[in-house]
Amino acid sequence: MATKQTVKDIRQRKGSGQKISMLTAYDAPMAMLLDQSGIDILLVGDSLGMVVLGLDSTVPVTMDQMLHHATAVSRGAGSALVVGDMPFGSYLVDPRETVRNGLRFLKEAGCDAVKLEGGRKVCDDVRALVRAGVPVMGHLGLTPQTAGQLGGFKVQGKSMAAGRRLLADARALEEAGAFALVLECVPGRLAEVVTRAINIPTIGIGAGPHCDGQVLVTNDMLGLFERFTPGFVKQYLVIAPQIKEAVAAFQDEINSGVFPAPEHTFGTDEDFSTLLGE
């Protein structure tokens, strides 16, 4: 088995020429599959709310839901680093509560690190978490928990002024102690500049090819989530139609009596039909 990835390993990838791969996971079997495929980081994203729990946004996702799924992912993970997403409202409210919540991801759910959204406004929280021993991944650009304030699910950092703000946020997160940074839905050229300007790895999603790594929501890249697919997603598999075909075949075979066949049926030497006459 490959050796366990550490936060230090991920940080040291910066400038090594070896890109970082990250995918989301929400349960143990998928975590196991992704881990066995050699993924560096499993992110228990709060995208959980939309792709698993059927919610319309990530806003209602709770700490208990995140811990429940993060615990399962940690059980399934082998060498991959497991990062738990801090849900909306679990940070930025009270620094002591932030630290308590961050510690729960490590102590109760077995995660190696947490991720939270935002720039300079979350830096006090990042510092407090890191001081308490909780490694932190930042998240800039389109931050789904506050997408309403950003005018919806739109590309961020398109103007020079917005790019300058995003770069200042990235530098502030590095200075606060974040070990890596997700850049979501920002122009490729801006992501390239931010990646060159900071000393921690950037992991892009809809941020072009120049980041130090890439992340996708697994359910999107496997074609498992049909409600919508963001334009930046590449589907490496489209599995939903195959699932529907398999289920339709199951129903047909139940009706036609093809399933279960003798090989799916337990036998015995007894002829129980005599029981009918008793």
Catalytic residues: 184
Instruction: Tell me the backbone φ, ψ of residue 204, rounded to 5 degrees.
Output: -95, 150
| CB 220 to ligand KIV: min, Å | 9
Q: Which is nearer to ligand KIV, 54 or 262 (CB)?
A: 54
Is 212 an interacting residue with respect to ligand KIV (CB under 6 A)? no
Residues 79-108 binding ligand KIV (CB under 6 A) are 85
Site mask for ligand KIV (CB under 6 A), range 18-47, x = bound: ------x------------------x-xxx
Helices (H), the chain: 7-12, 28-36, 48-51, 63-76, 95-107, 123-131, 160-176, 188-197, 218-221, 240-256
From 147, 132, 185, 139, select the one nearest 45 (Cα to Cα): 139
Q: Which residues contact 258 (CB under 8 A, 6 or more apart)?
A: 252
Q: Which residues contact 142 (CB under 8 A, 6 or more apart)?
A: 150, 153, 154, 155, 156, 184, 185, 186, 206
Residues 126-185 binding ligand KIV (CB under 6 A) are 182, 184
Compute the distance between CA of residue 1 and CA of residue 257 in angstroms, rounded to an integer: 44
Q: Which is nearer to ligand KIV, 104 or 258 (CB)?
A: 104
Q: Which is nearer to ligand KIV, 45 or 76 (CB)?
A: 45
**18 to 9, 12, 43, 221, 229: CA distances (angstroms):** 11, 10, 19, 22, 28
Residues 45-74 binding ligand KIV (CB under 6 A) are 45-47
| CB 82 to ligand KIV: min, Å | 13
Q: Give the CA angle between residues 199, 204, 210 to the nearest 5°.
A: 65
Total residues contacting ligand KIV (rule CB under 6 A)?
Answer: 11
Q: Which is nearer to ligand KIV, 70 or 193 (CB)?
A: 70
What number of H helices and E strands is found in the chain? 10, 8
| CB 48 to ligand KIV: min, Å | 7
Q: Which is nearer to ligand KIV, 140 or 176 (CB)?
A: 140
Instruction: Quote the distance between the C-alpha of residue 62 and its chain's center.
Output: 15
Which residue sits closest to ligand KIV, CB atoms considered?
45
| CB 149 to ligand KIV: min, Å | 16
Which two structure tokens, joined as six digits, stand for 35?
A: 């881990």
Contact with ligand KIV (CB under 6 A) among 42, 173, 180, 217: 217
| CB 145 to ligand KIV: min, Å | 9
Site residues (vs ligand KIV, CB under 6 A) = 24, 43, 45-47, 85, 182, 184, 205, 215, 217
